[in-house]
Amino acid sequence: MKKDFISILDISRAELEGILAEAEKLKRQKKAGVAHELLAGKTLAMIFEKASTRTHISFEVGMNELGGHALFLNARDMQIWRGEEIRDTARAASRYVSAIMIRAYKHSTIEEFAEYATIPVINGLSDLEHPCQLLADIMTMKEHFGSISDLNVAWVGDGNNVCNSLILSTVLTGYDVTVATPKGYEPEETIVKKARSLGGHVKLVRKPEAAVKDADVIITDTWISMGDDKEREVRLKVFEQYTVDAPLLRLASKGARVLHCLPAHRGQEISDEVMEGGQSLVWDEAENRLHAQKALLVWLLKK
């Protein structure tokens, strides 16, 4: 059966460990200048309904470094934008390429793609989840802290797609996640329930101070995700007290580190001081998108 990666829980704990070990190996090899063309002759189609910098670059460069090829497809230039059915696009594309990565507005678009495609489908971000981001985040935490199962991870801000994937990831990693959001901006209830039912440790609080107390890792993201632009003015007001800044960071554990999937909005969800400070791991995190996704591609595509 073909494998897909639409939710972070599409992989088991053991599979996550395998993917991370491969990612670390590929990272070491790249730094040492050792070629690893494990996917020669393979093509990844990358369909984007929304903007992207990191996801686009890291998947394209990743396929290139693995000896394969990546095809950038702006959804607006495809027939789906003129009404061709997803199930038809998925089946036709499956006859040309080895895997499809999609960044879509609706999670259901990616699920429908996966249902009809006969090749692996990867979620490059939807309104519900951003599992590729979590692969990189977990890799970055592991790289920095060594062991991650005992970490306290705090999320401050919007209970969005990245937050949902973080919550589900507790099931695979064992770390505790505490989420601080304003009322009405909590993560998806079904996601929280699912994580808890599978043994994940998730706490929802209101105040950022309550979430970051004793936290080893603080994670934040934009207050206005792609697709939320119409709520901009309201959101800027609602999230005013949710900036990850130096005073907030001082409440966390001594060696706490900060993650942000980027793009960042300095002065909103994160201060410039924290973003540029010694406790920020954001550039390692951005780099690890490349290594983690290469390992994911190898896991999905190598015979």
The DSSP secondary-structure symbol of 187 reads P
- Active-site position among 4, 221, 257, 291: 221
Assess whether 289 carries a catalytic annotation: yes
Residue 130 annotated in active site: yes
Nearest to 179 by CA among 201, 160, 203: 203
Question: From the CB of 107, what's the least distance to ligand NVA, in Å?
Answer: 12
Q: Are strands 43-48 and 201-205 parallel, antiparallel or unpaired?
A: unpaired
Q: Chain centroid to CA 267: how far?
A: 23
What residues make contact with ligand CP under the rule CB under 6 A? 52-55, 125, 133, 261-263
| Nearest residue (beta carbon) to ligand NVA | 225
**Sign (positive/negative) of CA torsion 115, 116, 121, 125?**
negative
Which among ligand NVA, ligand CP, none contacts residue 267 (Cβ within 5 to 8 A by kind)?
none
* Residue placing its CB nearer to ligand CP in the complex, 152 or 225: 225
DSSP letter at 110 equals H
Is the Cβ–Cβ distance between 43 and 73 less than 8 Å?
no
Residue 222 CB, nearest distance to ligand NVA (Å)? 5
x/- letters, 214..233, toward ligand NVA (CB under 6 A): -------xx--xx-------
Residue closer to ligand NVA, measured from CB, 216 or 221 = 221
Closest to ligand CP by CB, 8 vs 38, is 8
Q: 177 has which bridge partners?
A: 153, 202
Could you tell me the smallest distance in angstroms from the CB atom of residue 226 to ligand NVA?
4
The catalytically annotated residue of 130, 235, 260, 291 is 130
Tell me the backbone φ, ψ of residue 168, rounded to 5 degrees: -65, -30
Q: What is the DSSP letter of 219?
A: E
Bridge partners (DSSP) listed for residue 44: 70, 99
* C-alpha to C-alpha distance for 100 and 117, rounded to whole angstroms: 9
Q: Identify the active-site residue in 54, 107, 260, 289.
A: 289
* Among the listed residues 86, 153, 172, 261, the single contact to ligand NVA using CB under 6 A: 261
Nearest to 111 by CA among 97, 126, 98, 92: 126
Pick the closer one to ligand CP by CB: 42 or 260: 260
> What SS3 class is residue 247?
helix
Choosing from 4, 54, 107, 133, the catalytic residue is 133
Chosen residue from 160, 178, 243, 280 binding ligand NVA by CB under 6 A: 160
Please give the Cα distance from 91 to 77 (Å, whole number): 18
91 is catalytic: no
Binding partner at 225 among ligand NVA, ligand CP, none, C-beta below 5 to 8 Å by kind: ligand NVA
* Residue closer to ligand NVA, measured from CB, 226 or 251: 226
CB of 133 to ligand CP, least distance (A): 5
In this structure, are residues 44 and 102 in contact, taking their beta carbons and an 8 Å threshold?
Answer: no
Q: What share of the chain is helix, strand, coil (3-state, %, to 5)?
A: 45, 15, 40
Contact 265, 272 (CB under 8 A): no
Catalytic residue status for 133: yes
Q: Does 161 bind ligand NVA (CB under 6 A)?
A: yes
> Which residues make up the interface to ligand NVA (CB under 6 A)?
125, 160-162, 221-222, 225-226, 261
Which residues are part of the catalytic machinery? Answer: 103, 130, 133, 221, 261, 289
